[in-house]
């Protein structure tokens, strides 16, 4: 079985530390962590009356799990700007839902910085925004901001094909 049809010399999977996130047609600065892209299907069970020892299990509702993005706090306010679309109250005391949904794109890259997988998440909106982590004067870590994004489906861009590696 050939795992890489074009690059038959390759036997290692792609690394998980080369990636970029895009929305509104541009790359989002400094994203250092993206949660797993995950679909789940609930199960529906039923039992036939005449068969007390057999439980039938079938598929139920399907959903895409929320996506979490993390990055170091900088002067780029893209996370906050998007989060405000839902969290800030408008004139009638309700969130402004104008343009609060986005399509986000996540690109996985190989060691040569070539895109090897591209996924699109649709109708995304921010359900949680952590502006600053817990601040601790005794630690030496970076300040990380975090978005939790709800979405209505993720699919792979099948137009991305394997390119010959140099």
What was the pLDDT predicted at 156?
A: 96
Taking only the tens of pLDDT, the chain with its 166 residues reads 668 888 877 878 889 999 999 999 999 999 999 999 999 999 999 888 877 788 889 999 999 999 999 999 999 899 998 988 887 766 566 666 677 899 999 999 999 899 999 999 999 999 999 999 999 999 888 999 999 999 999 999 999 988 888 7
What's residue 96's pLDDT?
65
Q: Which domains does the chain have, with CATH numbers?
A: 19-39+65-156 (2.30.110.20)
Residue by residue, DSSP assigns 3-23 as S-SS-TT--SPPPSS-EEEEE
What pLDDT, on a 0 to 100 scale, did the predictor assign at position 50? 77
Q: For residue 28, which of 63, 66, 77 has the smallest C-alpha distance?
A: 77
Q: What is the pTM of this model?
A: 0.86
Per-residue pLDDT, 91: 59
Torsion from C-alpha of 66, 72, 78, 83, nearest 10 degrees: 40
């Amino acid at each position: 079985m050939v795992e890489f049809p074009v690059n038959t010399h390759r036997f290692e999977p792609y690394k998980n530390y080369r990636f970029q996130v895009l929305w509104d047609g541009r790359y989002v600065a400094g994203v250092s962590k993206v949660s797993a892209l995950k679909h789940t299907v609930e199960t529906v069970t039923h039992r036939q009356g005449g068969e007390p020892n057999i439980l039938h299990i079938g598929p139920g509702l399907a959903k895409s799990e929320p996506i979490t993005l993390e990055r170091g706090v900088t002067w780029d306010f893209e996370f906050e700007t998007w989060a405000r679309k839902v969290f800030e109250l408008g004139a009638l005391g309700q969130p402004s839902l104008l343009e609060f949904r986005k399509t986000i794109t996540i690109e996985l890259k190989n060691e040569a910085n070539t895109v090897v997988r591209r996924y699109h998440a649709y109708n995304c909106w921010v359900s949680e925004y952590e502006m600053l982590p817990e601040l601790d004067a005794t630690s030496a870590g970076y300040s990380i901001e975090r978005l939790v994004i709800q979405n209505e489906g993720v699919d792979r861009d099948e137009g991305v094909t394997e390119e010959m590696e140099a």
